[in-house]
Amino acid sequence: MGDRKHSETLPAGRSAGVCLHLTSLPGPYGIGEIGGDAIGFVDAMRRMGLTVWQFLPTGPTAFGDSPYQPLSTFAGNEMLIDLSDLVARGLLQSDECRVLAKLPTATVDYAALIPAKFALLKIAASRFADKASGQMKTEFDEFLHAEDALWLRDFALYRVLKSRNGERPWHDWDARFVHREAGALQQLEAAAGGEAEQLKIIQFLFRRQWRRLRDYANSNGISLFGDMPIYIALDSADAWANPEILEIDRDGQPQNVAGVPPDYFSADGQLWGNPLYAWQVHAANDYRWWVERLRAASALVDIVRIDHFRGFEAYWSVPSECETARDGAWVAGPGDAIFESLRRQLGHLPIVAENLGVITPEVEALRHRYDIPGMTVLQFDVAGKPNPLDVEENCVCYTGTHDNDTTVGWFHGSPDDIRSAEEIRETQRAVLALTGGTPDTIHTDLIRCAFSTRARLAIAPLQDFLGLGSDARSNIPGTSSGNWRWRFEPEQLTAQCCDEVAMLVADAGRR
Sequence-ordered list of residues with C-beta below 8 angstroms from that of 495, at least 6 positions apart, any chain: 47
Least Cα distance to 463 among 499, 428, 496, 501 occurs for 501
Establish whether 499 is a catalytic residue: no
Return the ∠ at Cα 199 (arms to 87 and 274), rounded to 5°. 125
Residue 80: Cβ within 10 Å count = 23
Which one from 354, 381, 445, 464 is the annotated catalytic residue?
A: 354
Residue 372 to residues 46, 66, 354, 369, 403, Cα–Cα distance (Å): 27, 26, 10, 8, 22
Half-sphere exposure of 221 (CA within 13 A, CB side): 14
Sequence-ordered list of residues with C-beta below 8 angstroms from that of 8, at least 6 positions apart, any chain: 348, 350, 371
Query: How far apart, in whole angstroms, are the C-alpha atoms of residue 439 and residue 411?
Result: 8
| DSSP assignment of 242-296 | -GGGBSB-TTS-BSEEEEE--BTTBTT-EEEEEEPB-HHHHHHTTTHHHHHHHHH
Query: How far apart, in whole angstroms, are the C-alpha atoms of residue 373 and residue 351?
Result: 7
**Alpha-carbon torsion 338, 340, 342, 348, what sign?**
positive
Query: How far apart, in whole angstroms, are the C-alpha atoms of residue 296 and residue 229?
Result: 14
Query: How far apart, in whole angstroms, are the C-alpha atoms of residue 465 and residue 443?
Result: 7
Which one from 109, 139, 189, 307 is the annotated catalytic residue?
A: 307
Residue 320 to residues 16, 252, 259, 271, 276, Cα–Cα distance (Å): 42, 12, 11, 10, 10
DSSP secondary structure code for residue 413 in this structure: -
Establish whether 154 is a catalytic residue: no
> Beta strand 15-19 with 457-461: parallel, antiparallel or unpaired?
parallel
Classify the phi-psi angles of 329: left when phi > 0, otherwise alpha if psi is within -120 to 50, otherwise beta.
Answer: beta
Contacts 24+ apart (CB under 8 A), 448-451: 448/504, 448/507, 448/508, 449/378, 449/389, 449/399, 450/378, 450/397, 450/398, 450/399, 451/16, 451/504, 451/505, 451/507, 451/508, 451/510
- Whether residue 44 contacts residue 26, with contact meaning beta carbons closer than 8 Å, is answered with no
- Whether residue 455 contacts residue 376, with contact meaning beta carbons closer than 8 Å, is answered with yes
For residue 100, give the 3-state DSSP assignment. Answer: helix
Query: How far apart, in whole angstroms, are the C-alpha atoms of residue 423 and residue 446?
Result: 18
Establish whether 268 is a catalytic residue: no
Which one from 139, 364, 393, 403 is the annotated catalytic residue?
A: 403
Residues with a known catalytic role: 307, 354, 403
